[in-house]
Structure formats: structure tokens, C-alpha cells
Structure 1
Amino acid sequence: MKRVFILIGIVLMFIVNCFVLSAAKTVNLNGTSWELSEIKQNGLNLQIPSNTKITVSFSGNKINGFSGINKFNGTYRIRDFVLSTTLNTTLMGGSEELMNFEMTFLDILQSSPRISYNANTLTLKNRNGNTLTFRKDSNNNQSDSNSLSNLTKELSGTKWELVKIDRKEMKDIFSPNDDGITISFSGNRISGNSGVNNYFCDYIVTAGNITVGTIGSTKIAGPDNLMKLERQYLEILQNAKKISLTNNKTTLIFTTDSGKTLIFEKI
């Protein structure tokens, strides 16, 4: 009888140990959001493009985020501290530098990296030593309205048409039936049509100063004069430093440090 109890005790201890080990290998990222703070490839730290917020969020078995130009989403699974993902992305284009960075980020994210994390830091490291390091997204628990400036709130949900680019009148280029160049605002996101292609980016406004994130766009060709105008428009928008509303908030002006301007009227 004594031997039976000893055997039962051994079995129970084995079961408890298995349970403890299994629990120790469980990583729960559900309900968390993270912002990329460092990326390392082939032993070298890569520079994260300025004004670009790379993010990843976990909810249930779903994963989503922003990889620099495109949004991604899909499913994920964690087993023995290894992250497995199946991702889909939008198919927008951007600068070669940002496209290459985005590809590197997504490659590491999808390479079954090993997870290590604490309350404020998440690290994903694959077998080649390539690493993504994230910090807790500080805006995750804030409402959009609380994290946006007053001007950003005013602009959110509005659409504007370009009427003048660096003293050049758009009415001399586009006919009244043409759509022209437009810009729309949604939260801290900008989108619109730049004459031929659709474009998009993030932006931040602080006390009349604007920082425009890296602009991405579709890659459609058009007439030479419109392509030239599009390049000029996107260059000024990318380098804009000041933003203001005038004429009873019906005119919107972007200004660069060199004094080049984009003037819009509300649609």
C-alpha cells in the first residue's frame, strides 16, 4: 500500500511539473500594442525612417499593424516562445529606401522569431540573429481625440483642393471638370490625389508646425506635365514645416522653410 501511495505521489508531481513547465512556456500578448524602437540585421542596427511609426498589435489570435508604407493583418500563434504569423498587406508603393526597410521588417516578423518581453519591451529575434525590438505603444490606451492636437481635430474628416502651388494657379493647368490635386485628413493621416497618383502619409501638428511622414503613393504613369507637377507637389508637401487655416478656416496653407507654399480651398 505504501508503494502505491509513493507511486501516486510521483505521478502527481510529474503532472504538476508538466503543468508548471507548460505555463512557463506561455506568452500572452493578447491586447497589447507596440512601436518599433530598433531593428538589427546581419549584426547592424538599421535606421528607422524619420517620422515613421512602425507598429504591431495583438488581439485574440489576430495580428495587425503598420510597416512603414502598408498596413498588415493576419493571424498568429505562439508556441515555446516562438511567434508564427500568417500575414496579408496592402499593396501601396513608396520610396525605395522605405520599401526596402518595410521588406526587412516584414521578413523578420514572418521568420518565426523567438519572443522575449517584459511590461515595456518586446523583442523578436530569429535564427539568423536579426532582431525587432519594440516599446509599449504609449498611445494605445488613449482615445484618438485625446492624442491629437486641436488643429488636427479641426482638419480630421475634411477634404481640400489645391488652388495654388508656389504662386502657380491650378486653374491654368486643370479644367473645371478635372478633379485636380486634393488632400484629405483622417485623424493623424493624410491622403489624396496628387494629379496622377493617390498618396498617403502620417503627419503631426504642434503649435502651427507640421511634420509630414514619409509619403507613399501608387505608381501610375501619366502625361509629362502632370507627372512634373505631381513631383513638385509631393516635394513641397513632404518638406512643409508650417500649416495654417485662414479666411474663416476655408483656406489651408502649407509652407516650407524656403517659403514655398501649397494653398488649398475647402471642398
Structure 2
Amino acid sequence: MLNKVAFVIIGLLMTQLDSCEKVDIVIKEDLAGEWVLKNVFLSDAMDSPCGWEVEKHEPLTLKVAKDGDNYSISGKSAINSYFGSLEVISFDEKSRTGKIQTSPIGSTKMAGPENLMNCETRFLSQLDTATDFAFDDNGELRIGNFRDENSHPRDGGYYLIFEKK
């Protein structure tokens, strides 16, 4: 009897380990890589990466690399380069949506025109406070704070929309 119980427990543990590894592989393949910010969703409207203030700017980028159990992130914002880490807390393979936590994001400290500095501040702040991520049907990556059941009816959330390079 004891052997049967032990066999069932070991079988369940092996199933759990196998399913965790599969999800990690799916996330790693989809999340890792170089991304370019295409749009920003602000509650109920789509905005350009730097908003109405800036017509021309260098692409805002996000590079995600697997780093042990977490991911390192880096890239170029409107003026400076930035770096940090990202931890995937959960991921639902069916909805392709998950929860994340970013480390405080560091950056170089070059100054630039006020409108580009405002763009950079918005971008890094949204990345730094993001709690959600998802992949849409087109393979775009969305990182930010999504609307949920506790959100105000007028709050559609906000998120950064990246396209893979």
C-alpha cells in the first residue's frame, strides 16, 4: 500500500515538473529577444511611443534575455540606455497572459531636450511599474497594468505595445 501511495505522489510531482518546464520554455521563446515600442495604450486611447510632444525620435527598444530563473532587460529609451531585471511570477499559456515584477530600472544620465526627457520618463516609469504582460495574436508583447475586475469602469489600463525586431 505504501509503495502505491509513493508511486502516485512521485507521478504527480513528475507531471508538475514537466508542466512547469513546458510553460517556462514557451515564455522563454516568446519573451526573449529584441523588441521595439510601437504604441502605448492609455486607458481608452492608443498613443505613439513618445506622445504628441515628439514627432521624431530614435526607436525605444527592449531587449529581454534569460538570466537564470529571471530575465535581464535593457534597451534604449528616448535619450539614455537602461537596464534592470524582470521576474515572471505567473503565466497562463491558454490566454498568453502573465504577471511580472521588474527590479528598479537604472539608466545612464545624459540630458536631452525636454520633450524627449518627458518621453523617457513616461516610458521608464511604465516599464518600472508594470505588473502584467501578454502576447497578442500578432505576436506583439504588451507590458503594463491591465484592466481587471477591480478596475474603475473608465480605467482600461495602460500598457506598452512592443513588436519583435
For the aligned pair, the TM-score class normalised by the smaller chain equals: 0.5 to 0.7
1-structure distance, mates of 2:141, 2:164: 8
Q: CA RMSD in A?
A: 2.1
Using structure 1 for the length normalisation, give the TM-score: 0.40
Gapped regions of structure 1 (runs ≥ 5): 1-145
Match of 1:220, SS state, is coil
Partner of 1:230: 120
Determine which of 188, 211, 228 is the counterpart of 2:101: 211
Q: Which has the larger radius of gyration?
A: 1
**2:56 paired with 1:181:** no
Q: Unaligned regions of 5+ residues in structure 2, if any? A: 1-20, 92-97, 147-154
Q: What is the CA-CA distance between 1:180 and the residue it aligns to?
A: 1.5
Aligned to 2:49: 170
Please list the CA deviations of residues 13-42 of structure 1 after superposition, one character each: whole Å capped at 9, or x if unmatched.
xxxxxxxxxxxxxxxxxxxxxxxxxxxxxx
How many residues matched? Answer: 117
Distance, in Å, in 1 between the alignment partners of 2:55 and 2:126 is 19
User: How many angstroms does 1:248 deviate by?
Assistant: 3.3
Residues 1-267 of structure 1 mapped to structure 2, 5 A cutoff:
149=24, 150-156=26-32, 158-165=33-40, 166=42, 167-170=46-49, 173-175=54-56, 178-187=57-66, 188-205=71-88, 206-207=90-91, 208-249=98-139, 251-256=140-145, 259-267=157-165
- 3-state SS of the aligned residue for 2:131? strand
Q: Distance in 2 between matches of 1:174 and 1:266?
A: 22
| TM-score when normalising by structure 2 | 0.63
Cα drift, residue 217 of structure 1: 0.6
Code of the aligned partner of 1:181: L
Deviation string 1:180-212 (CA, Å, 9 cap, x unpaired) is 211011111110011100001111112110111
Please say if residues 253 and 262 of structure 1, whose CA atoms lie closer than 8 Å, have aligned partners that are also in contact. yes
TM-fit CA distance, 1:162: 0.8
Give the secondary-structure state (helix, strand or coil) at the position aligned to 2:118.
helix
